Chain A
């Protein structure tokens, strides 16, 4: 039954994805209540899936790469709702649906997706908190990446004077630059809290700690450069994308280490 909820949520994001493609193609991409409803339904299904999965494994369901990616996509959608009305009214939601659909589909294609849920020993409060908060930070980084891509699209259209179609429906570049910065900062704070939790848990290997720091440092550097106005909004948007690729690579590596622990 738990898998039914996961499939239903993936289907919801697929519908959101299809809508985005259609809207972009037709040049009528605009926020709609319908799109919001699809996202909300997908989120409810995701939550129920993670709840049931958590009960089945007897701990926070982040025990393999499949679960990690599902938890990550859940975090992205959660943050999309939490970030607030301003961004929900923008096309952030429209761009979030395809992103979440791709992550969740990738998760379901992994070999670990077909493994049955097995009751596991709890890793302890701090370790589970560390994992959950860190993944939520990844969700924020993903959302910052989405906002950064939207900035780059809108900026390119402005420079090239292509002011029809999707340009009309994308938010102002100043709003997108501010959103990217704010969401990345939220992710950075969460990641820092996750790191502290990880050190309290004390079970992590040095390699894992190194990898966590390898995500924390680039984001810290990018944000510092941004605050000191060393980087333009365009470079900052590119960095939000690049940093997320680094973070995703590190997430894959972290999962590998966890599995081999």
Chain B
């Protein structure tokens, strides 16, 4: 029995092609049934995410299985063909996040698990793919826990959120204000919201823009000349105005901080020119991070992840060898859909 994979990903195909071949969640089981019902193919799992479309099958005749699959997708030139150890290695790398657009991201593991469970529910998996996917999930767990491949924030937004959690712990009691209405500020605010930030205020020179963004975020718009009135209740301030000079000076912040009853203030400065005077970081309880500092954190985390690649690949290689050996061991095959003896 051999494992075969036919797939395309963000590495091999642009988004126009990926969206053409993408399969909706509702149809994954149905497609897997169609593939598994072909005599040359024993078992099938179909994975489809925004970055990849992949067909994993188990077959006695790998060449015939690949022919069936390429015929099915219609345009084989954009698909990568893998068989044997290569396809096993590929699956282990995918679930471990090594093939992801952002190295080490963990969302893919959940997506592959979901695809596998769909195939299992549709009855298109049996001994070989069950064993393969279970092993893949174990490999992903091992790689995540024994290396730093998922460690640290790798984007400006997630770096800001991680820092906020290092200051406040849980963010569910934190109020956030966006000064200006830049796109990165909006994304950062959304990330903070996804981690539980309580309330979002948006203040912009153009009130309509503030109102529109506040509506999208489920927050409250504030006139730009009134943002200081809300200051006492704020925990996180994101600066992203287009002002040519600092909007928040040390002189302005000192009296405002005195009204805060020893609550720390996290200032995220995403604006260029910067919205916060550098010296506000010297104030007790104020933590200022500008765009370069946040990007530096993201780059350092990515560097750590890259440096862990070799260790991850070593772990994966060991599992590939073990699984290939198991696959090569002759055993009586159980026909598709057959129930185990004890279940009859």
Residues of chain A having any CB pair with chain B under 8 Å: 154, 158-159, 161, 163-164, 167-168, 170-175, 229, 231-235
Determine which residue in A161, A170, A172, A234 has the highest number of CB atoms from chain B within 10 A of its CB, and name it.
Answer: A161
Determine which residue in B167, B296, B297 has the highest number of CB atoms from chain A within 10 A of its CB, and name it.
Answer: B167
Tell me which residues from 299 to 313 in chain B have a Cβ below 8 Å from any Cβ of chain A.
300, 304
CB distance from B144 to the nearest CB of A (A): 15
User: CB distance A174 to B285 under 8 Å?
Assistant: no
Closest to B296 in A: A161
> If the complex has contacts A158-B287, A164-B300, are A174 and B169 also in contact, measured as CB distance less than 8 A?
yes
User: CB distance B151 to A233 under 8 Å?
Assistant: no
User: CB distance A172 to B168 under 8 Å?
Assistant: yes
User: CB distance A229 to B166 under 8 Å?
Assistant: no
> If the complex has contacts A161-B293, A164-B300, are A173 and B167 also in contact, measured as CB distance less than 8 A?
yes
> If the complex has contacts A161-B293, A231-B262, are A167 and B285 also in contact, measured as CB distance less than 8 A?
no
- Tell me if B49 counts as interface (CB < 8 A to partner A): no
Closest to B290 in A: A161
Can you offer 15 A-B residue contacts whose CB atoms are under 8 A? A158-B163, A159-B287, A161-B289, A161-B293, A163-B166, A163-B297, A168-B152, A172-B165, A172-B169, A173-B167, A229-B262, A232-B284, A232-B285, A233-B262, A233-B285
User: CB distance A158 to B300 under 8 Å?
Assistant: no
CB distance from B39 to the nearest CB of A (A): 52
Further contacts, 16 of them, CB under 8 A, given A170-B166, A233-B285: A161-B297, A163-B166, A163-B297, A167-B166, A168-B152, A172-B165, A172-B167, A173-B167, A173-B264, A174-B167, A174-B169, A175-B169, A229-B261, A232-B262, A232-B284, A235-B284
Closest to A172 in B: B169
Q: Which among B151, B163, B285, B296 is the interface contact of A234 at CB below 8 angstroms?
A: B285
User: Taking chain A's interface residues, is the majority helix, strand, or loop, or is none over half, making it mixed?
Assistant: helix
User: CB distance A172 to B166 under 8 Å?
Assistant: yes
CB distance from A123 to the nearest CB of B (A): 43
CB distance from A198 to the nearest CB of B (A): 34
For the complex, what is the distance from the CA of A252 to the CA of B264, rounded to whole Å? 37
For the complex, what is the distance from the CA of A257 to the CA of B262, rounded to whole Å? 41
- Tell me if B281 counts as interface (CB < 8 A to partner A): yes
Closest to A234 in B: B284
**What 5 A-B pairs come out closest when comparing CB atoms?**
A172-B169, A229-B261, A232-B284, A174-B169, A229-B262
Chain B, interface size category, equals: 20 to 34
CB distance from B158 to the nearest CB of A (A): 12
* Neighbouring A residues of B163 by C-beta, 8 Å: 158, 163
User: CB distance B168 to A174 under 8 Å?
Assistant: yes
Q: Which among B152, B166, B264, B297 is the interface contact of A233 at CB below 8 angstroms?
A: B264
* Neighbouring A residues of B300 by C-beta, 8 Å: 163-164
* Neighbouring A residues of B304 by C-beta, 8 Å: 164
Taken residue by residue from 292 to 331, chain B's Cβ proximity to chain A (1 for < 8 Å, 0 otherwise) reads as 0100110010001000000000000000000000000000
Taken residue by residue from 167 to 184, chain B's Cβ proximity to chain A (1 for < 8 Å, 0 otherwise) reads as 111000000000000000
User: CB distance B293 to A173 under 8 Å?
Assistant: no
Tell me which residues from 113 to 170 in chain B have a Cβ below 8 Å from any Cβ of chain A.
151-152, 163, 165-169
Tell me which residues from 264 to 278 in chain B have a Cβ below 8 Å from any Cβ of chain A.
264
* Neighbouring B residues of A164 by C-beta, 8 Å: 300, 304
Closest to A230 in B: B262
For the complex, what is the distance from the CA of A173 to the CA of B151, rounded to whole Å? 20
For the complex, what is the distance from the CA of A45 to the CA of B262, rounded to whole Å? 42
CB distance from B258 to the nearest CB of A (A): 10
For the complex, what is the distance from the CA of A131 to the CA of B289, rounded to whole Å? 49
Determine which residue in B152, B262, B296 has the highest number of CB atoms from chain A within 10 A of its CB, and name it.
Answer: B262
* Neighbouring B residues of A158 by C-beta, 8 Å: 163, 166-167, 287
* Neighbouring B residues of A173 by C-beta, 8 Å: 166-167, 264
Taken residue by residue from 181 to 205, chain B's Cβ proximity to chain A (1 for < 8 Å, 0 otherwise) reads as 0000000000000000000000000
Q: Which among A167, A171, A174 is the interface contact of B264 at CB below 8 angstroms?
A: A174
CB distance from B6 to the nearest CB of A (A): 40
For the complex, what is the distance from the CA of A159 to the CA of B279, rounded to whole Å? 11
Tell me which residues from 87 to 112 in chain B have a Cβ below 8 Å from any Cβ of chain A.
none
Closest to B166 in A: A172
For the complex, what is the distance from the CA of A172 to the CA of B195, rounded to whole Å? 15
For the complex, what is the distance from the CA of A219 to the CA of B191, rounded to whole Å? 41
For the complex, what is the distance from the CA of A171 to the CA of B170, rounded to whole Å? 11
* Neighbouring A residues of B287 by C-beta, 8 Å: 158-159
User: CB distance B262 to A159 under 8 Å?
Assistant: no
* Neighbouring B residues of A232 by C-beta, 8 Å: 262, 284-285
Closest to B162 in A: A163
